[in-house]
C-alpha cells in the first residue's frame, strides 16, 4: 500500500471509530489522573524522530519510574490500561500518526531512541522505510509482556534478545513486502486480537 491509501484508510477508520475513541478517552480520564493521550518519541524513516500517539495505559510519569519495557505484572499499568492493552485499543491513536505521514498501516514497529542506539549496522536497514501500526514483529510478539514477566531482568532480556528478534522479523518482511502481504498481516493481526 502506498502512502495515499494508508492515509485514506486511517481517515475513514478514525471517522468510523470516533464513538469508540471517545469512550476510551473517558475511561482513561476516569481511571487515573493525567493526560488521555501519551506521546512518546520514536525513531521513524531515515532515523528521524517523531511523537507516537497512544491512549495512556500507565500512571502519569510512568516512564520516569522504570525502564521502557512492561511485563504483565507492571504496577504502573492502570486498571483501564490493562483492558486497553489486552485488546490493543491503546494503539488506535496511531491512526493519526498514519494520517500525518509519520507511519504506515503496515511496517516495522518503531522503537525508542535508546533501543535504536543498540541496533547493529545491518539492523539499521529497518529505518529505510516508514514504521507501521501493524507488522510482523507485532504479530509474533503479542505475548511480549508475558515473556518479560518470566525474565529475571525484563529490561536486560528485551535489550539482549527480544529487541533483536523483533528487528530480524521486520527485516525479513522488508525483503518480501507487497500490497498482498500487507493486507495479510492486517487481517492476521485483527484475527489474532479477536481470538486472544
Q: Which residues of 181-193 are buried (b: 16+ CB within 10 A; e: fewer)?
A: ebeebbeebeeee
Q: What is the value of pTM for the model shown?
A: 0.93
User: pLDDT of 95-143, one tens digit each?
Assistant: 999 999 999 999 999 999 999 999 999 999 999 999 999 999 999 999 9
Please give the mean pLDDT across all residues of the chain.
94
User: pLDDT of 44-63, one tens digit each?
Assistant: 999 999 999 999 999 999 88
d(CA 98, CA 131): 9
Please tell me the predicted confidence (pLDDT) of residue 64: 80
> Considering only CA atoms, which of 163, 40, 155, 32 is closest in space to residue 108?
163
Residue 4 — pLDDT band, cuts 50, 70, 90? Answer: low
Please tell me the predicted confidence (pLDDT) of residue 73: 87
Residue 66 — pLDDT band, cuts 50, 70, 90? Answer: confident
d(CA 116, CA 47): 9
Residue 67 — pLDDT band, cuts 50, 70, 90? Answer: confident
Residue 184 clears pLDDT 90, i.e. is over it:
yes
Strand segments, DSSP code E, in 37-125 are 37-43, 49-55, 104-106
Please tell me the predicted confidence (pLDDT) of residue 9: 95
d(CA 41, CA 110): 9
Residue 2 clears pLDDT 60, i.e. is over it:
no
Q: What is the mean pLDDT of residues 74-87?
A: 95
| Domain map (residue ranges) of the chain | 3-195
Q: Which residues of 129-144 are buried (b: 16+ CB within 10 A; e: fewer)?
A: bbbbbbbbbbbebeeb
CB 21 within 8 A of CB 84: no
d(CA 58, CA 149): 17
d(CA 90, CA 24): 9
Please tell me the predicted confidence (pLDDT) of residue 195: 83
Rg, C-alpha atoms of the chain:
16
User: pLDDT of 147-183, one tens digit each?
Assistant: 999 999 999 999 999 999 999 999 999 999 999 999 9
Q: What are phi and psi of 33, to 5 degrees?
A: -65, 150
Residues in the chain: 196
Residue 88 — pLDDT band, cuts 50, 70, 90? Answer: very high
Amino acid at each position: 500500500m502506498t502512502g495515499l491509501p494508508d492515509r485514506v484508510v486511517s481517515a475513514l477508520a478514525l471517522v468510523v471509530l470516533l464513538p469508540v475513541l471517545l469512550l476510551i478517552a473517558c475511561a482513561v480520564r476516569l481511571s487515573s489522573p493525567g493526560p488521555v493521550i501519551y506521546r512518546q518519541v520514536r525513531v521513524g524513516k531515515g532515523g528521524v524522530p517523531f511523537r507516537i500517539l497512544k491512549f495512556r495505559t500507565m500512571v502519569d510519569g510512568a516512564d520516569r519510574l522504570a525502564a521502557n519495557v512492561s511485563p504483565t505484572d507492571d504496577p504502573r499499568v492502570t486498571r483501564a490500561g490493562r483492558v486497553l492493552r489486552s485488546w490493543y485499543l491503546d494503539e488506535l491513536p496511531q491512526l493519526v500518526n498514519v494520517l500525518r505521514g509519520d507511519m504506515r498501516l503496515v511496517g516495522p514497529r518503531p522503537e525508542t531512541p535508546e533501543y535504536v542506539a543498540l541496533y547493529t549496522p545491518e539492523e539499521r536497514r529497518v529505518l529505510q522505510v516508514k514504521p507501521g501500526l501493524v507488522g510482523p514483529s507485532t504479530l509474533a510478539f503479542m505475548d511480549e509482556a508475558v515473556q518479560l514477566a518470566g525474565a529475571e531482568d525484563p529490561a536486560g532480556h528485551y535489550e539482549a534478545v527480544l529487541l533483536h528478534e523483533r528487528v530480524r522479523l521486520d527485516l525479513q518482511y522488508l525483503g518480501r513486502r507487497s500490497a498482498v502481504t500487507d493486507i495479510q498481516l492486517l487481517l492476521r493481526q485483527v484475527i489474532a486480537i479477536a481470538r486472544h
